Structure 1
């Protein structure tokens, strides 16, 4: 891609549902799902090389936007991209019609975090919510309050906010092209997992969640893989990453 057109930004704190909704939005409309989290380690390394960050000191507060745009412009496909992550701030993405933030109340976030990690310590996640909320104050950013919403309801709300732009934006139309987009995202997840393992930031038995490569627009299946399971699947042409007995595959 040669310009910022065709980029949809989705931000919000932990447990807002942004990753799930972004994955589904991208799959449904034939877009590429770009997780800022899945590029975080690479971005930290690039920022460290530029003197903007010190490795092993946390995620850092350097500007990720230039790196994100560089990644997108270097893509081997010409399609729209859904960029999501906790680092997607109004200052980074702007507050135009192609950016939304999913925001739970503090009580809703705590309930979702407890469901996700029973008995876990959630103070850092709550701090992140407060930070995002502060960044949104005083802006004209589009905010979707997700309290009490199902994933489907939040997805519908995001589609409504983005409006007709979704239908007119560049997209993959064939199953093969859609599978190629999902493979790009899956490959990045595996790349970061491998890099973190080699640098001692994760363990061999760590489990990562990948998108099903059947590429059916309405598929919601995810596949959990360990680092050892990734290489042989990624050397095969998609759809090699699918759950057993998938209803959309023979």
Structure 2
């Protein structure tokens, strides 16, 4: 396992943890606040599976697979058109992938906290898989010296502050988007990936009940650092919205920008 900082890219922040730890929400808002790119490993799952299958190390349709995603993540980041830092988040972010260093943190709820959050998210749902995932992430962290933020009882804002404190030694030294146009282009990269994920999920038979009317949540492209707004779009609305330059996906609160 990598015990030292290892930056193939000048600014990668790794955020891991189990389901309902707040990884996605915290990472999205952290990226918006500082002018970074939010990179969801989950949103790239289909693309990574296809690349792994083409390389002969994965069989499509057999689940997420246990192939090494790190080279694919780094290749995606290195191909970015904007020189900025990236917040990489997801349950697949392990200490082996990220290294135990100042640019990696894991958000961990207790089992009780995770179950409460999962139940709030989907009352009466079957949470056994997510609870099993909690144990897997915990086992990966044990004995590693990984930087862990216990999120029990925290608001989103408190967790963001705790993550910023863990990253404080490097947060201001990593590259960031400087202009509104650059910030909007970064948000558009993430939004486009979310749209591709939703389209692929539908193609593979997911959310059959709602079909092309299935709704997905995107980041507001106003690019204001203090904006927390999300925008709901149906799958069949995505092509039109993405056909225009940003900010074409904006909260009603910022509709004057379009």
- Which of the five TM-score ranges fits, normalised by the shorter chain? over 0.9
Cα offsets for 1:177-205 (capped at 9, x unmatched): 10011001101111122223333344323
What residue number does 1:31 align with? 36
Cα offsets for 1:208-249 (capped at 9, x unmatched): 111000010010000111110101110111111012233884
What residue number does 2:237 align with? 229
1:178 aligns with 2:183: yes
What residue number does 2:58 align with? 53
Report if the CA contact (8 A) 2:10-2:175 is conserved: no
1:208 aligns with 2:224: no
Give the secondary structure class of the aligned counterpart of 2:252.
coil
Distance 1:152 1:247, change over 3 A: farther
1:112 aligns with 2:117: yes
Report if the CA contact (8 A) 2:247-2:257 is conserved: no
Residue 80 of structure 1 deviates from its aligned partner by 0.3
List structure 1 segments (4+ residues) > 4 angstroms apart after TM superposition: 247-250
Residue 133 of structure 1 deviates from its aligned partner by 0.0
Q: How does 1:46-195 map to 2 (within 5 A)?
A: 46-195=51-200
Residue 3 of structure 1 deviates from its aligned partner by 3.1
Distance 1:247 1:187, change over 3 A: closer
The CA distance in 2 between the partners of 1:81 and 1:90, in whole Å, is 17
Report if the CA contact (8 A) 2:102-2:167 is conserved: yes
TM-score by length of 1: 0.96
The CA distance in 1 between the partners of 2:90 and 2:180, in whole Å, is 27
Report if the CA contact (8 A) 1:216-1:248 is conserved: no
Residue 48 of structure 1 deviates from its aligned partner by 1.1
The CA distance in 2 between the partners of 1:14 and 1:247, in whole Å, is 33
Q: Unpaired runs of 5+ in structure 2?
A: 1-6
Report if the CA contact (8 A) 1:78-1:170 is conserved: yes
Residue 150 of structure 1 deviates from its aligned partner by 0.3
The CA distance in 1 between the partners of 2:148 and 2:101, in whole Å, is 12
How much is the aligned-residue C-alpha RMSD, in angstroms? 1.5
Cα offsets for 1:119-162 (capped at 9, x unmatched): 11111000001000000001011000000000000000000000
The CA distance in 2 between the partners of 1:72 and 1:53, in whole Å, is 22
The CA distance in 1 between the partners of 2:204 and 2:117, in whole Å, is 31
The CA distance in 2 between the partners of 1:188 and 1:133, in whole Å, is 29
Report if the CA contact (8 A) 1:36-1:85 is conserved: yes
Report if the CA contact (8 A) 1:214-1:248 is conserved: no
